[in-house]
Structure 1
């Protein structure tokens, strides 16, 4: 059964972290019929599904908003957030608190009884998800996650990929972009290597249960969760090679996770929706519908 919310305003939820929440349009059924996929997601009146979109490094909200509209037009609640670049690259200890604040937001909005689906973009979104998942594992009443979408992620750390990511963030208009980006990429990889070594040693000192979250392509591979995962990627992605994603997905599948993969033709990093809107919407729509159907059958007997 579908449900409509009349509240359509957007607003930042915190003085220091710019969360944006949007409820479905009152006319979401009509709007969805005019879009690429003419169906409305399976929902429940009392706990409408929530899609939490986590942007890539340097992502502006106006870009993330285009993706959230896919779900809002079809009756779902969305939360959008992109971690600050400095916290993704060098001030990374703050990510623990950011993950905890996002989880607290879900509790404060009374969304903890709603089925939650993550849609994460690139390694930046995957890195942030790690810390939300960590906060959720430590919670006395963890929220129900029923599905996960990886868009152009996760990938291993490489100098060339990091260099291209930094170049995109700095922008082509910046003078000496090539040299600055290259220097930053090498410096960050060295810094992260020291950070990983330090955290590895610290594990011998901290009490049992201490978890280190540094590398999404490594840490997320060994997650204990078993909710379904959808991977959206392309063989022409210059930032994260498709082979990284396929190896990661294969490992998760061998671990018993329901894995689905969609490889797009000739689309750039986090631009699959722009290049292939119909296929993109169909893929995420079918995946979420299946996740929600399984969720409601399992917990509500519908």
Structure 2
């Protein structure tokens, strides 16, 4: 794979009748032997009662409650911003501000701090390229994380706080919602997520199908697991060095209030792994709410059970809001 040059994102102010203030990026012209991988971008979504222009994102005290939580959404592998509009609407309709980020490429490895850097303006409450976050300075942050790509985003933010020596910023997270996560994906699940979230190299796109890419990656990941499992069984502490699931369990101090939304019918993640993770969090003394939707597919719980999903999310956010007022 040849490295491609990337252009820095440009800021474009936009006024729209919708509830989102969207920051657009320039599109890079692709070369034959390269592939275009967009940089992650933050998007600020305001409720309908608020002005939605980028210029007015810094709101006066009379326009918003500084103690009202802001929801940080971290999308699943291959998610497009429009895919999470229905989730944003759940919170915007109740007057909550939402900041969203869809990390573009999923990978099975422990992430670096790159995505965490793109998330950091919200936590630092600064005026940055994605927007002006100064009005979010005192807001509790509730993370709504989708699938294992969302987990990678959370880990990446932890890594960024370590690199920048700003661990106090983690304390701004007062609650977390896991949708269809965390779990230990198997070879095919990891391969599928990697392929659907990473565009193919232009030169090979005509001859190598998406299914072929998934098959090759599945073979590689299954071989990797076959070689690793005996070693990890004998030396358990090594698990967190190769598994996102175990890294989250052992290296990330999650907030006290946690909500898990999952389903036994999910073919991308195993419910038993979510449930084992939940038990570990309960052993740590955290306040955990878990809902098994039973028959809904991966990150599709809101489509199968819209009322129950909406109620669970809003009750959780209101509980966190009441706890920190």
Give the Cα–Cα distance (whole angstroms) in 2 for the partners of residues 84 and 193 of structure 1.
28
Match of 2:21 in 1: 10
> In structure 2, do the counterparts of structure 1 residues 64 and 224 end up closer, same or farther at CA, with 3 Å as the change threshold?
same
Q: Is the 8 A contact 2:268 2:298 kept in 1?
A: yes
Give the Cα–Cα distance (whole angstroms) in 2 for the partners of residues 156 and 289 of structure 1.
30
How far does residue 106 in structure 1 lie from its aligned partner after superposition?
A: 3.4
Match of 1:99 in 2: 116
Which of 153, 156, 160 is equivalent to 2:188? 160
Give yes or no for the alignment of 1:128 onto 2:139: no
Unmatched runs of 5 consecutive residues or more in structure 2: 1-16, 27-38, 51-62, 127-132, 200-205, 232-239
Q: Is the 8 A contact 1:127 1:214 kept in 2?
A: no
Q: Is the 8 A contact 2:77 2:149 kept in 1?
A: yes
Match of 1:139 in 2: 166
How far does residue 121 in structure 1 lie from its aligned partner after superposition?
A: 0.5
Give the Cα–Cα distance (whole angstroms) in 2 for the partners of residues 181 and 167 of structure 1.
6
Query: SS of the residue aligned with 2:150?
Result: helix
Give the Cα–Cα distance (whole angstroms) in 2 for the partners of residues 23 and 123 of structure 1.
26
How far does residue 161 in structure 1 lie from its aligned partner after superposition?
A: 2.1
Query: SS of the residue aligned with 1:59?
Result: coil
How far does residue 126 in structure 1 lie from its aligned partner after superposition?
A: 0.7
Q: Is the 8 A contact 2:76 2:149 kept in 1?
A: yes
> In structure 2, do the counterparts of structure 1 residues 179 and 250 end up closer, same or farther at CA, with 3 Å as the change threshold?
same
TM-score of the aligned structures, taking structure 2 as reference length: 0.69
Query: What pairs with 1:21-170 in structure 2 (closer than 5 Å)?
Result: 21-26=44-49, 45-85=65-105, 88-89=106-107, 95-107=112-124, 108=126, 109-110=133-134, 111-136=136-161, 138-139=165-166, 141-142=168-169, 143-166=171-194
Query: SS of the residue aligned with 1:80?
Result: strand
Give the Cα–Cα distance (whole angstroms) in 2 for the partners of residues 104 and 72 of structure 1.
21
Give the Cα–Cα distance (whole angstroms) in 1 for the partners of residues 41 and 222 of structure 2.
28
Q: Is the 8 A contact 1:123 1:154 kept in 2?
A: yes
> In structure 2, do the counterparts of structure 1 residues 71 and 189 end up closer, same or farther at CA, with 3 Å as the change threshold?
farther
> In structure 2, do the counterparts of structure 1 residues 275 and 170 end up closer, same or farther at CA, with 3 Å as the change threshold?
farther
How far does residue 184 in structure 1 lie from its aligned partner after superposition?
A: 1.6
Give the Cα–Cα distance (whole angstroms) in 1 for the partners of residues 223 and 154 of structure 2.
23
Unmatched runs of 5 consecutive residues or more in structure 1: 1-5, 28-42, 198-211, 297-302
Give yes or no for the alignment of 1:249 onto 2:282: no
How far does residue 166 in structure 1 lie from its aligned partner after superposition?
A: 4.8
How far does residue 257 in structure 1 lie from its aligned partner after superposition?
A: 1.1
Q: Is the 8 A contact 2:123 2:172 kept in 1?
A: no
Query: SS of the residue aligned with 1:89?
Result: coil
State the Cα deviation string for residues 122-149 of structure 1 (Å, max 9, x = none): 1011111111133346316425111000
How far does residue 170 in structure 1 lie from its aligned partner after superposition?
A: 8.1
Give the Cα–Cα distance (whole angstroms) in 1 for the partners of residues 197 and 73 of structure 2.
19
Query: SS of the residue aligned with 1:12?
Result: coil
TM-score of the aligned structures, taking structure 1 as reference length: 0.74
> In structure 2, do the counterparts of structure 1 residues 101 and 193 end up closer, same or farther at CA, with 3 Å as the change threshold?
farther
